[in-house]
Amino acid sequence: MVLLAPGAAIQPFLADLAREAPGSTVSQDVLDRVGYTRDATPFGFLERRAGVIAEGPGAVVWPGSTQDVVTLVKLAGKHRVPLYPFGAGSGVVGGLLPRTGGVVVDLKRLGQVAVDRAARTVESGAGVLGERLERALNAYGFTAGHFPSSIYCSTVGGWLAARSAGQLSSRYGKIEDMVLALEAVDGLGRVHVAHRGDVPDLLRALIGSEGALAIITRAWLRIHPLQTHHTIFGLAAPNVTAGISFMRQVLQAGLRPSVFRMYDPPDTMLAGGIPKASPAPLVLPGPISRAGHEDGSMQGKPRAGTAQPPQGLFDMLSRRATAALRREVAGGRVTPLLRGVVGRALQQTTWLEVPYARLPPHCLLVLGLEGDAPDVEETLSHALSLAREGNIQVTGRAPGERWLKRRHAVTYKMPPFLRSGGWADTLEVSACWSTIEPLYFQTRETLLRHAVTLAHFSHAYPEGGSIYFTLAGGSGSSLDSALTAHDAAVEDALAVFARLGASLSHHHGVGRMKLRNMKAALGPGAHAALSRIKVALDPHNILNPGVLGLGGTP
């Protein structure tokens, strides 16, 4: 990647900042600027590899307090310098695309954590990494219950700005369910403390605002005592329809599983198929979030020199490609020939419809429950009763234990696959239960025209749930051809979402990837209202301009 030089207009701003906010750390080092050029959007990786000339931030600033953020914003308003709030860069929809005339505001120095055990709340700085928050809470016997697969590379502020969801969301909810209040600095440097239930509820306007309305600096979240017992095990549904019905009945019976996931037939096959019966579910001591922790470390954390166990599509494809690469590539460079072979093999996917149709229809589910021992016993009994009624078979503990071991690994799997000559992306969507089944089948049929497609169902709620599609294709010989194929796949899938009344996104957000579809999805008055809120909170249009379709060029 080639980085353009910082805009000249930024220097007077930085000089003022050094004078008026000496607590802020500033860098214009080229490595810092490159590092903050993109979030984790898959095509960001491909652009870097292709040597695309890109804009990047003119500087990176690390404020040390809310007051530093206030000063920063006021000076940015005075100099009309765009600010790009940054947590840990795990976003995947292009929410971060800084221009050379702008400044990235990395909030990781806002790192305080204060636990109120009596109120069961935690006050957290916006820059606290998920893993650090959870470790701090565990030390007091609590959990936030929020375990996104990006927990090692995402922050509390980022979770709120993008409406994050964690792996235990069916019990603990999404981040918008967890937050009780937040502090944010708007585009004029005013500090807001928005509480749940305020009228109007400013909290609802700031959550999911993706940095366009205010910079989130602090949050107060619910926390929960670590549960004393858990169970986690696998089940097999005869088909997608039966599996969806079972998930709905469990949630509507008031059961709140911590883990509840179902893999569609292709994903089930890639995970090794339906396993033979393993030992029956057991109620075990400890919470699911700490299951298997013997050394105090987080489960599944990638460690230097430790290979992650293979899982799913990326592994199957990248394992073979990587093995070939290792034989043929010196110094980590991929030969154009090999990349072309891998990329082209995935360019045409229409042939996949035949093997997809012949796959066994079974779906693997993982169900995890936690609470005190009587609670777990009672909810397990009820869940098993519903399973019997729905012709869902218990397959034993092994699938649950395997999921626990690999739960955070997927975040780190995409780059090796991209290196091998493919493109990949994910699309997540939520819908009511009556829509979930047609949404799955119609989206899968649509995506298969463009890409290899897998799906799993997770984040189940009493009124509906989420489907997470993984798509992969070949990049062929050029970045442009990969982008064309990718954009066509996403556009067609989003059209299906819209037609069925599903959401554009469940927890990745809008960013710049889904901008074109947002206005239609929200209704004719929504964008006008959103624009008026933008003007009310950020009249100089300095906060992440372009995102959510607000304030200028995306």
- Comparison of 111 and 286: residue with beta carbon closer to other proteins: 286
Q: Least CB distance from residue 411 to other proteins, whole Å? A: 18
Tell the residue number behind the tokens 């003119």, with chain if given: 58
- Comparison of 88 and 179: residue with beta carbon closer to other proteins: 179
| Rounded distance between C-alpha atoms, residue 315 and residue 307, angstroms | 12
The CA dihedral of 530, 535, 536, 541, to the nearest 10 degrees, is 110
- Comparison of 55 and 375: residue with beta carbon closer to other proteins: 375
**DSSP letter string over 261-292?**
EEE-HHHHHHTTSSPPP-SPP--EES-GGGTT
Q: What is the 3-state secondary structure (H, E, C) of 87-136?
A: CCCCCCCCCCCCCCCCEEEECCCCCCEEEECCCCEEEEECCCEHHHHHHH
Sort strands 363-371 and 393-396 into parallel, antiparallel or unpaired.
unpaired
| Rounded distance between C-alpha atoms, residue 413 and residue 418, angstroms | 9
Tell me the β-bridge partners of 393. Answer: 236
Closest by Cα among 188, 217, 185, 183 to 203: 183
Sort strands 121-125 and 214-222 into parallel, antiparallel or unpaired.
antiparallel
Q: Least CB distance from residue 262 to other proteins, whole Å? A: 16
- Comparison of 128 and 223: residue with beta carbon closer to other proteins: 223
Q: Least CB distance from residue 437 to other proteins, whole Å? A: 11
Q: Least CB distance from residue 490 to other proteins, whole Å? A: 15
User: Cα dist. 526→140, 271, 393, 522, 553 in Å?
Assistant: 43, 42, 46, 6, 19
Contact (Cβ atoms closer than 8 angstroms) between residue 446 and residue 493: yes
- Comparison of 146 and 506: residue with beta carbon closer to other proteins: 506
Q: Least CB distance from residue 285 to other proteins, whole Å? A: 18
Residues 6+ apart with CB under 8 A from 137: 115, 122, 143, 144, 223
Q: Least CB distance from residue 334 to other proteins, whole Å? A: 34
- Comparison of 271 and 502: residue with beta carbon closer to other proteins: 502
- Comparison of 206 and 363: residue with beta carbon closer to other proteins: 206
- Comparison of 172 and 356: residue with beta carbon closer to other proteins: 172
Q: Least CB distance from residue 374 to other proteins, whole Å? A: 8
Q: Least CB distance from residue 204 to other proteins, whole Å? A: 4
- Comparison of 14 and 439: residue with beta carbon closer to other proteins: 439
Classified as helix, coil or strand, 245 is helix
| First-to-final CA distance of the chain | 20
- Greatest CA span in the chain, whole angstroms? 70
Q: Least CB distance from residue 244 to other proteins, whole Å? A: 11
